[in-house]
Structure 1
Amino acid sequence: MSDFVIPPPATPSVAVAGSSARFPIRRVFCVGRNYAAHAREMGNDPNREPPFFFMKPADAVVPADGEVPYPTLTDNLHHEVELVVALGGGGSRVAPEDALALVWGYGVGVDLTRRDLQDVAKKMSRPWDWAKGFDASAPCSPLQPVDAVGHPEAGRVWLQVNGELRQQGDLTELIWPVPDIISHVSRAVALQPGDLIFTGTPAGVGALQPGDRVQGGVAGVAAFDFTMGPRPA
């Protein structure tokens, strides 16, 4: 007999490559402006200042294959391809040299952004939640365990739309690499198994239209291929 007054929601999860098992998602942290060229294209200073973070709901993560729904409330939906870190351990005030021991595996995700809503929020000094945390705003590839891919420190990060290359960078260009990101997040909140971290996107972000085919990946980690669904009526 359940003690819940309504049926509890299903646990959000993401596929694991080569397995029927799934990785449960607790929270999704995202790093802003973690590639210098992207910071510049967004009109910001790319100097190594302390990173800033925002979050997406756990159930915003959807498979980065098949059809991804085009969201409501936007005329300017942007793609941002990113390395995704999946944590199998947790802790607070984690030192950078201890951070990689918390990592279960890696994947590749797309931080979909309602850029028009974000621009309004920035001008009015309001939160970005509606711009970043909407339904299906975090398509993600199946995760690869560390045993399969190690801890990638270099590798091409890319995204193309309808065969046209839009974004290209390398993990070596991260202003804050994975151990530093984990350490910074752990100073603000206690990290837990199941947390995902989207690590930032290279330059070249741009608009997506209904029907666009979106492909991308991180060399040595994973790739994805999905199509944007129709614009909501």
Structure 2
Amino acid sequence: MQATLDASRIKAISLDLDDTLWPIWPVIARAELALQDWLRPHAPATAEFLTDGERRLTLRREVQASRPEIGHDLRTLRQELIRRALQRHDEDTMLVEPAYEVFIAERMRVELYEDARPALAWLAQRYPVVALSNGNADVQRIGLGEFFHAGFSAQEFGVGKPDARFFHAAAQAAGVLPQEVLHVGDDAALDVVGALDAGLQTVWVNRAGHDWAHDSHRPHATVGDMQALCALLGAGS
């Protein structure tokens, strides 16, 4: 059953970041290349190993299987992946920290969708906006901090979406009740189903025009981009 968005109830916005405000995979690809380039003079065997996407994925799965408790913590997960790659090739594991800093610096260089910044400015003038990300983007380092009242990442909070505690933390940070928060994001399961189960209203940002695949849940509204979200909220206010 299709829920109906009630804009009059909205007192705060919680907002996903990756693939909602910018495409994430080009960013990760650049960060992987930056990491490999930095490692090449310091740990050439590890650098060569990490050039192969299948080998990286296999190693990542090994780390996740052996250390499930860090699944939400992308920083520790990435550092452990680098450490194991270095260790496997008998290269200096003291390189983990500086190598990770190279990766994360590039990861923070995102290219916003054209609609993202104007939409953030519009939303921030009307609501407290709280970032909720399972990724490790930092809105301050990215240069968007002025638009956000608060922000939470799964690696800092200890759990991520779809855990209800994560969504409720956004409501608490904004000083409102969960049912007074509109959560906006691109991931049907993590963002929409998770937020619905936590008692929030939801808008699905469906840039690629995917079909909805969760019969027991439906977003309160679906938009193609962030400007359409602003138009929707402006029309309903």
Q: Determine if the TM-score, normalized by the shorter chain, exceeds 0.5.
A: no
TM-score normalised according to structure 2 size:
0.25
- Which has more radius of gyration? 2
Which structure shows the bigger proportion of residues in helix conformation? 2
